Structure 1
Amino acid sequence: MKHNSFTILFLLFLSAFCVAQDSLKTVVAEPGDGILSLLRKQGVNPYEVYDEFVALNHHDLRDSVHLFAGRIYVLPRIKLDTVAIVDSLQLQSKEIKELESDSYDIFGEQHKTVITKSERLKGNVYYLVSGHGGPDPGAMGVYAGKAIAEDEYAYDITLRLAKELLAHGAEVYIIIQDENDGIRDDFVLEIDHDEVAYMNKTIPLNQVARLKQRVYIVNDLYKENRGKYQRLIVTHVDSRSENQNIDVFFYHHEKSKNGEKLAESIHKTFGDKYKKYQPNRTYSGTFEDRTSLYLVKKTHPAMAYIEIGNIRNKKDQVRILDPDNRQALAKWISEGVLLDFEGE
């Protein structure tokens, strides 16, 4: 029996569609469910399919990572490198494709897979610096009777941000690194002192020497990448009075229009997210010039310096310690980066 080319293509599509549908099932989120707990309850290793789950369900996630109780979610069941899926489960398209991904050991065994989302940042270079590290843990706080340190949380958010930027095709330099600490999904992150600077440089104890080292590394890389679109993002956690609850805020160099635009774009993204997801709460985070900060003053790329929250305040600790919230912070920063590059 003869088939014309259209019939053959239709049969191939139908076959692929059926395989895709057979490979995926749905589940209803219950009150209190997070992505990790929902996947575990379904007998799925959450770390193997986390990014795929987010990719499949991104239109139905609050704060980009939180579930809505009572809503239906698509649950991947096949390994990331083999599953065929419908391009849009919201019926926007019927194109079948495979998820493209790369692997990066720095994110840890459970999070090393980076699924390609787009090439919107292809050719762009981003330098990511997490505050403190090595002999200096930075700001300290206490949660559930255990000590918590700024550098561990700033690093975790920075890794999550790096993963988001890589997913959009960016070239990313993680300036402070810890080969033992990938992305971690714990509330209390164990404190250690084995972080190193880019290219395995020992981090000095002296504060000025430590800051100078970071400036030299970033500025040397900036020269190497001359002619490319380059930006720097520095992530810190603040320490203030226990009673002072603060929102995420941003600094930039007073004479850098590009740095101001980057900080403003991320700030705007946070403001928009609060309006959408927390309409009864006013976002009070600011962006302003702060050239007195050493990294703001001395580094060459246009940059945004981010303070995530007050590590000593109980409300801010929820934002900092909850791994889902750290993921949301990274996602929102990445969306601000995209806004900065592409404009409104």
Structure 2
Amino acid sequence: MKLLPALLLWACMSFPLFGQTDFYDVVAEPGDGIYSILRKQGLDPVTHYETFLKANLENIKDGSQLHVGRTYKIPVVDDSFKKTGVKVQLQDEEETPIFDVELANMSLKSRTLGNAIYYLILENPASKNKFIEDITNNLAASLMVHGAKVYVFGSEEENLGDTTPKEKMGQYIDAINKRYLQNAGKYQRLLVIRANGLIENGKMDVAVYHHQKSENSQRFAENIQKAFKANSVSSKSYEEADRIFEDQNSLYLATNTLPAVSLLTIDGNPKTNNKKGILVSSDKNAFTNWITSGILRDYAELTIED
């Protein structure tokens, strides 16, 4: 019977350990308050304010002011922008945050896309097409602030040796399918962004393609396409355009990846474009907003149907 009090004491002492939140340390900088230090670490201050306050109560002055140079505990959470937006390296599948110093200016707008996972592939990032890298990052941020998780592939040139285009697609397929299965049950889509030629200021042609055998791929592409049609700088009608994957790499990717795939092509030289292109301005912010609008529409339509 003497064991019972000891066991009860052990249980009382041990219980708080199981309910603890993991933390990591950050040193406060000039101007930091609770809101700013949480934002700089990619956390939504409204959601995690109380947890931070309780963990650092002894180092907070005047209710919310921090002491410069002191160390503060930041909660480790799954909805941190450092975890919901990551770049994936093909060689070792290492995941690193898409954003760093930019986190201070990002804030959660909604959780509309809280059940959504997006995979973004940049083709030929080393071809001096900084435009597609910028809009991909902008798009990732736009989706993340609405609650989505975003994986970006191909944002940096990797040394893959003598890898053929098909082998590289195979690596994309393996990495994406692995994450798709880890997120089974969620809405998941893959968007490939391809630039033809150097994108400069002015006008450019955009086309969105889908996989012929995938209804979800077609709807995803059409919703993005509608956003560009609505903002075209040309009066041309695009209703007749039937954009289906034609090149072997895209077909191989679409056939073997688990999420529905759409391909967005950008041509910086409208004079040489194919007849299916939609003529738009090359404003990066507007361009990002148009894609985001199409993506949100696609998600909303599927949610309503379900």
Same fold (TM over 0.5): yes
- How far has the Cα of 1:262 moved from its partner? 0.3
> SS of 1:342's equivalent?
helix
Residue matched to 2:256: 298
Report 1:65-214 matches (<5 A).
106-107=98-99, 109-110=101-102, 113-133=105-125, 137-138=126-127, 149-150=128-129, 152-178=130-156, 195-196=157-158, 202-204=159-161, 205-214=163-172
Give the conservation status (yes or no) of the 8 Å contact 1:247–1:283: no
> SS of 1:115's equivalent?
coil
Report 1:29-68 matches (<5 A).
none
Q: Deviations over 1:277-296 (max 9, x none)?
A: x4x64364945221542323
What are the ranges of 5 or more consecutive residues in structure 1 without an aligned counterpart?
Answer: 1-80, 83-100, 139-148, 179-194, 197-201
Structure 1 vs Structure 2: percent identity of aligned residues?
29
Give the conservation status (yes or no) of the 8 Å contact 2:192–2:262: yes
Q: Could you tell me which of 215, 219, 225 is aligned with 1:261?
A: 219
Report the TM-score, using the length of structure 1 for normalisation: 0.50
> SS of 1:209's equivalent?
helix
Give the conservation status (yes or no) of the 8 Å contact 1:232–1:304: yes
What are the ranges of 5 or more consecutive residues in structure 2 without an aligned counterpart?
Answer: 1-63, 66-79, 86-96
Q: Could you tell me which of 289, 302, 309 is aligned with 2:244?
A: 289
Instruction: In structure 1, give the amino acid aligned to 2:119.
Output: Y
Q: Deviations over 1:127-150 (max 9, x none)?
A: 1111124xxx35xxxxxxxxxx24
Instruction: In structure 2, give the amino acid aligned to 1:339.
Output: R
Instruction: In structure 2, give the amino acid aligned to 1:250.
Output: V
Q: CA RMSD in A?
A: 3.7
Bigger radius of gyration, 1 or 2? 2
> SS of 2:106's equivalent?
strand
For 1:248 and 1:283, how far apart are their aligned partners in 2?
14
- How far has the Cα of 1:299 moved from its partner? 1.9
Residue matched to 1:96: none
For 1:272 and 1:302, how far apart are their aligned partners in 2?
24
Residue matched to 1:329: 287
Give the conservation status (yes or no) of the 8 Å contact 1:131–1:155: no
Instruction: In structure 2, give the amino acid aligned to 1:289.
Output: I
Give the conservation status (yes or no) of the 8 Å contact 2:207–2:225: yes
Instruction: In structure 2, give the amino acid aligned to 1:113.
Output: N
- How far has the Cα of 1:305 moved from its partner? 0.5
Q: Deviations over 1:66-103 (max 9, x none)?
A: xxxxxxxxxxxxxxx99xxxxxxxxxxxxxxxxxx956
Instruction: In structure 1, give the amino acid aligned to 2:115.
Output: G
Residue matched to 2:181: 223
- How far has the Cα of 1:206 moved from its partner? 2.9
Aligned residues: 201
Q: Deviations over 1:192-217 (max 9, x none)?
A: xxx34xxxxx5455322222211221
Q: Structure 1 residues 214, 312: closer, same or farther in 2, change over 3 A?
A: farther
Residue matched to 2:205: 247
> SS of 2:186's equivalent?
coil
Q: Structure 1 residues 287, 216: closer, same or farther in 2, change over 3 A?
A: farther
- How far has the Cα of 1:319 moved from its partner? 6.7
Q: Structure 1 residues 128, 314: closer, same or farther in 2, change over 3 A?
A: same
Give the conservation status (yes or no) of the 8 Å contact 1:124–1:170: yes
Give the conservation status (yes or no) of the 8 Å contact 1:319–1:326: no
Q: Structure 1 residues 328, 203: closer, same or farther in 2, change over 3 A?
A: farther
Larger deviation: 305-314 or 120-129?
305-314
- How far has the Cα of 1:336 moved from its partner? 0.3
For 1:111 and 1:131, how far apart are their aligned partners in 2?
25
For 2:219 and 2:284, how far apart are their aligned partners in 1?
23
Instruction: In structure 2, give the amino acid aligned to 1:282.
Output: K
For 2:231 and 2:280, how far apart are their aligned partners in 1?
14
Q: Structure 1 residues 153, 297: closer, same or farther in 2, change over 3 A?
A: farther
